[in-house]
Amino acid sequence: MEHNFWHQRWQEGRIGFHQNDINPWLQRYWSKLIVEPGARVLVPLCGKSRDMLWLREQGHEVLGVELSDIACRDFFHEQGVEVEAVTIDNYHRRERDGIVLLTADLFELPWEAFRGIGAVYDRAGLIALPPAMRKRYAERLCQRVDPGVEMLLVTLELIGDDRSPFAICEGDGPPFSVYENEVRDLFEPAFTVIRLAAGEPVEGPHGVEREVAYLLHRQ
């Protein structure tokens, strides 16, 4: 999506994708990942997700990347603190109590910003992007994370969708449906992809859908 699309959504408060509660897939399956104690966890397109607080409670450092400065500001504001943004090159950086938020385009961040990443958590990153950008996103993760790093990925599948899994129609998403064959096409063979579980179907903005959790291991 274009930058202005997301900036407008945050400015207008149209953030139905935001979850107030900790994601149940994160709580259930994070322990399945092989992650060193205290490892830095990358959370792409993090918004103001409270999942980052949960990850910090598990002893991890958190690096969130988000296009909207409003989201980064509000994350800390909702924790009762105001954190001043520091400008570094072409992005803003906020840090407090083991959580670093970068206001930046993930595709434009330098290598140095990804140094020391020990795991990745994606609940709202991949499914926020249209097909062409999903390919770029997967390629960027393949380039930026080291062998052995594992990732917990949560996607959405539209149930009973008779279109091609790679199709996109005007008015679709975000969030977009991303099916298992596309996940494998995007990430294999750089990552080993393991489907962990699928949730119960629920009524969503585009029809009946379900969440699916995957574990990815960087080869």
Does residue 120 lie within any of the structural domains? yes
- Whether 50 has a pLDDT exceeding 90, the answer reads yes
pLDDT for the residue numbered 172: 54
Name the average pLDDT for the chain: 89
Task: Return the pLDDT at 206.
Answer: 75
Percentage of the chain exceeding pLDDT 70: 88
CA distance 125 to 117: 17
Question: Exposed, middle or buried: residue 179 (CB in 10 Å: 0-12, 13-18, 19+)?
Answer: middle
Question: CB 130: neighbour CB atoms within 10 A?
Answer: 13
145 within 8 A of 42, measured Cβ to Cβ: yes
Q: Are 108 and 101 in contact (CB under 8 A)?
A: no
Q: What are the tens digits of pLDDT across the range 88-116? A: 988 999 999 999 999 999 999 999 999 99
123 located within any domain: yes
Contact 120, 152 (CB under 8 A): yes
Please tell me the total count of domains within the chain: 1
pTM of the predicted model as reported, rounded to 2 decimal places: 0.91
Provide the domain limits for residue 206: 3-9+20-218
Whether 141 is covered by a domain: the verdict is yes
Pairing of the two strands 150-158 and 207-218: antiparallel
Higher pLDDT: 11 or 24? It is 24
For position 116, which CATH number holds?
3.40.50.150
Residues whose CB falls within 8 Å of the CB of residue 67, separated by 6 or more in sequence, listed in order:
3, 6, 7, 45, 103, 104, 105, 106
* Domain-located, residue 15: no
Query: What band does 174 get if pLDDT is binned at 50, 70 and 90?
Result: confident
Query: What pLDDT is recorded for position 90?
Result: 86
If one compares 58 and 5, the residue with the highest pLDDT of the two is 58
Report pLDDT digits (tens) over 195-214: 999 999 998 777 899 999 99
114 inside domain: yes
How far apart are alpha carbons 97 and 118 in whole angstroms?
18
C-alpha span between 186 and 183 (Å, rounded) = 5
Token pair, residue 196, equals 């962990």
Tell me whether residue 14 is in a domain. Answer: no
